[in-house]
Amino acid sequence: MSTEPVIDWPLLESRALAVRLNAHAPYSGYQVGAALVTRSGAIFAGCNVENASFGLCLCAERSAIAQMVAAGQSDPVAIVVATRGPAAGSPCGACRQVLAEFAMDMPVRLIVDGIPGATKDTTLSALLPDAFRKDSL
């Protein structure tokens, strides 16, 4: 029987907040940071990367997933997404689908820089029920 991993939420939150500051968001001004931890305990962080050709903007969550895959890992067990306030931002539909490629379900924590009370805890399956997955093909 596999045991559930213990998530170091404060560490994951600090990594999401830190990487958020590196966001390239000159068009929206909306910086996003994401940090995920894999079953092995490795943390991968990503930020949004915007482009003058707006349709090419990359979200923070998909940026973190790309870091994970580039490192040869594929088993995220939790993710924190950090935005500005006043309310926490929620992963866009595309990011939900990309997260669902790698996790059937996992806890998702949404935090706001400087406003601890704005934190929202949810799950991937709550954000994207009945996800389209490879076993549908």
Q: Which residues are catalytic?
A: 61
Q: CB 61: neighbour CB atoms within 10 A?
A: 25
* Least distance to ligand THU, CB of residue 3, Å: 30
Which chain residues interact with ligand THU by CB under 6 A? 25, 28, 30, 32, 48, 50, 57, 59-61, 91-92, 95
3-state SS class at 66: helix
Residue environment code for 1-36, b if the CB has 16+ CB neighbours within 10 A, otherwise e? eeeeeebebeebbebbbebbeebebeeeeebbbbbb
Q: Is residue 43 within 8 Å of residue 100, measured between CB atoms?
A: no
Whether a cis peptide bond, with omega within 30° of 0, leads into 91 is no
- Residue 11 or 94: which CB sits closer to ligand THU? 94
* Least distance to ligand THU, CB of residue 134, Å: 22
- Residue 38 or 48: which CB sits closer to ligand THU? 48
CA neighbor of 37 nearest in space, from 72, 6, 79, 4: 79
- Residue 43 or 128: which CB sits closer to ligand THU? 128
